[in-house]
Amino acid sequence: MTAPATTNPPDTDSAIGNVFGWAVAAPPIAWLLVAATLVMAAAFGYTPLMTPAELTLPEAAGVRDHLEILRQIESGVDPNRAERVRSGLVRPGEYVMTPLEAAVASGVLDTVQFLQHHGARVDATTLPGLLCFAKQQGATDIEAYLRQQAPVDFAPGCKGVRLPWTD
Amino acid sequence: MQGRPPSVDRLKPAVLALLLAALITLPLADSVFQVPIQVSDSLEAIVIGAKYPSSWSLLADSAQFSSTTFRPMRYQQARWLVQGAAATGLTYNSVFRGVHVALMVMLVLLFLVAIRVRSWIDVAAFAVAFPVLVGIHTFAAMLQEAFPVNHFAEVGVCALAVFVLAQQPPRWFFPPLMCLLLAFALSVIESGAMVWVVAICCAAAGMRGMTRSSVVAATVVLGVYLLVRNALDISSPGIGGHGSGFGGTFYSPEELTRRFGAHPLGFIAYNVAGGLASLLFSEPRQGVYSLASAWKTGGPHPVLTINLVASIATTALIVWYGVTHLRVGRAAWSDTDRMFAVACAVMVVNAALNAAYIKDEIISVGGLFYAVASFIAVRGLLETIPQRRRVASALIALFLMTDAGLWTFRAAGVHYVLRYDAFKTRNDWIEVLRPDKREDWPTDPQELAITRRIRDEVILRSVASPSFMPRWADRYWVE
């Protein structure tokens, strides 16, 4: 015996309609729930999709946020001061480094040049460390740029140079 | 439901739809507001608008700022908003970005009014169509850029307003109001002609609010506009006026002129077909078919797959509705069928505006009407559920849920795209008033003061760096 091939009986239409209606509406409602959770989390200080308010200058360099770099330098932050870089920004683990070191770690030449144009020192005291760090990181364009900044007779050696990390 | 007037029964679904729209729109408004004033396209217009001694002289001169565009209200609006900021004490960013947010909210409200949610089936259809409205790439195009006010969003508001008026019983003030909307839209950007297109399509479909007098008046306004353009010797940009794609490659204006300048017809046909395909299938984008190059990169990008599947499913629904409801002939069409016919016609005509080059913004009005058509088609499908077997009903629900899920995912991506844009736009300001390039600074004190003030506002503006956003998002939301 085969099951009767009928359409939905009228008394079940409403119930089925409700179930199907909610099923169709489920995705945007799910989106709303996610958005509401994020808004509530933000109210308690957890903002997973925003830049932290207390970003240090090396952190701004590490995440290539040039305008944040500019803002901090214009407000008086020393562009050569080593500060904390939080875990996950340039690599796993927390480090203390200068903005230029963070820029080298991020591998973006533009950021190195931007920092230099805004007062970060690339001279005999910082060049050996930066060059060795760029070489270690495989940032060839940054290494080449830094070599251009060095005096002709400058012969850096990496022995004894302190790097943010050595592995 | 006995004992209650029908209007009360209609109110609940409408309120729920409004609530749903508000909850989705408010965070989106925040993302739109976060994007700072742009350097390109915006700063110059703001400075020009503010520097002129009077509105009249600005209006008179701006008519001849370009040999290919006639956008007097572009500069006038910028001037008014600068004056508004001075009068209220608000920042330039708050005023200009606030207007952009207001335009987006108006688009959402007009969409809600246009589709008229009255029943629970309407709410279910709205749950699919609203993510289509927000998630389609042409909507994001209206939110991303500003010139300094997004004129495509303004045209979208005017076009939807005319569409809403056409649904109402005719009133004496409809013709002048429609003329006002058309004149305003034409004065901000050439795509404003879409307002006239909407009026003509509404009349052709027999929508009751679009009377003969409205059509004649709107056509006269368009005619006057064309005469003024002609008198001012303003031509339309031809091929090579803007970069555009062909096949799997994007070409610069010079390359386009070299390749297609002598024999443009084939390229024009490609662009018109591409504009329509972009609306219906989310491919091509700016004339470039990413699918064409996908085989080189080892398969299509996830964002491409998601956009394509979502659009194909919705377009299939729209085609199904058109085939099953419009073939009976215009006289037998319901009001909803007429709305649907207008939406489809507007999409087709809008695609034709891409003749010289394809750009998401140009088809943004078509994108709004795509969402209207999708609402009607989804509702049409849901209405058939009581007559179907349970398995078929369940499959339809599953299909719609998947489609809504994909569109919701696309719509959620608009936040990511806007935040990414905010970061990029904010960083563009590092090139403005560079201390080491003082020779590039404006020499006019007023221009320098405005530029400095906007720059200072942007620097203080906090935006999210992409480094703090999920890394996977690029693959799923950025094309």
Query: What CATH number did the domain enclosing A142 receive?
Result: 1.25.40.20
User: Is residue A127 domain-shared with residue A80, that is, in the same domain?
Assistant: yes
Number of Cβ pairs closer than 8 Å across A and B? 139
Tally the domains of chain A: 2
Residue A157 lies in a domain: no
Do the Cβ atoms of B37 and B454 come closer than 8 Å? Answer: yes
Tell me, yes or no, whether A158 lies in a domain.
no
Please report residues of A whose CB lies closer than 8 A to that of B391: none
Q: A23 in a domain, yes or no?
A: yes
Average pLDDT, chain B: 91
Nearest CA in chain A to B401: A24
**Residue B164 in contact with residue B195, Cβ under 8 Å?**
no
> Which pLDDT does position A5 carry in this prediction?
45
Both A36 and A93 in a single domain? no
Closest CA to A8 of B440, B162, B397, B75: B397
User: Do residues A37 and A105 both lie within one domain?
Assistant: no
Do both A115 and A129 map to the same domain?
yes
Q: Share the mean pLDDT of chain A.
A: 80
| CB-based contact B385 A16, cutoff 8 Å | yes
Inter-residue contact B110 to B160 (CB < 8 Å)? yes
Chain A residues closer than 8 Å to B132 by CB: none
Q: Same structural domain for residues A65 and A139?
A: yes
Q: What is the pLDDT of residue B110?
A: 98
Chain B residues closer than 8 Å to A39 by CB: 27
Task: Check whether residue A85 and residue A144 sit in a common domain.
Answer: yes
Enumerate residues 6+ apart whose C-beta is below 8 A from A92: none
Looking at the complex, does the CB of residue B129 fall below 8 Å from at least one CB of chain A? no
Whether B24 sits inside 8 A of A28 (CB atoms) is yes
Contact B411 A13 (CB under 8 A): no
Phi, psi of B176, rounded to the nearest 5 degrees = -65, -35
A62 and A144 belong to one structural domain? yes
Q: Residue A3 has what pLDDT?
A: 44
Q: How confident is the model at residue A92 (pLDDT cuts 50, 70, 90)?
A: confident
Among the partner residues A17, A18, A50, nearest to B464 by beta-carbon distance? A50
Identify the three-state secondary structure at position A133.
helix
3-state secondary structure of A90: coil
Q: Per-residue pLDDT tens for B70-102?
A: 899 999 999 999 999 999 999 999 999 999 999
Assess whether A84 and A115 both reside in one domain.
yes
Residue A166 domain flag? no
Q: Residue B174 gets which letter from DSSP? A: H
- A30 part of a folded domain: yes
What ipTM was predicted for this assembly? 0.76
Q: Return the CA Rg of chain A.
A: 28
- Whether A93 has its CB under 8 Å from any CB of chain B: the answer is no
pLDDT at A13 over 70: no
A129 and A66 fall within a common domain = yes
Neighbours of B342 (CB within 10 A): 28
Tell me, what's the pLDDT at B3? 55
B150 touching A, CB under 8 A?
Answer: no
Residue range of the domain that includes A103: 57-149
What is the average pLDDT across B113-142? 93
Q: What is the pLDDT of residues B380-411, one digit of tens each?
A: 999 998 888 888 888 998 899 899 999 999 99
DSSP 3-state assignment of B463? coil
Note whether A131 and A81 are same-domain residues. yes
Residues A85 and A37 in one domain: no
If one compares B214 and B470, the residue with the highest pLDDT of the two is B214
Question: Quick check: is A156 in a domain?
Answer: no
Q: Does residue A61 sit within a domain?
A: yes
**Running DSSP on this structure, what letter comes out for residue B236?**
P
Is the model's pLDDT at A2 over the cut of 50? no
Q: Is residue A96 part of a domain?
A: yes
Q: Is the same domain home to A64 and A144? A: yes
* Tens of pLDDT, residues B154-210: 999 999 999 999 999 999 999 999 999 999 999 999 999 999 999 999 999 999 999
- Give yes or no for A87 touching B (CB within 8 A): no
CA-angle at A49, arms to B43 and A54, nearest 5°: 80
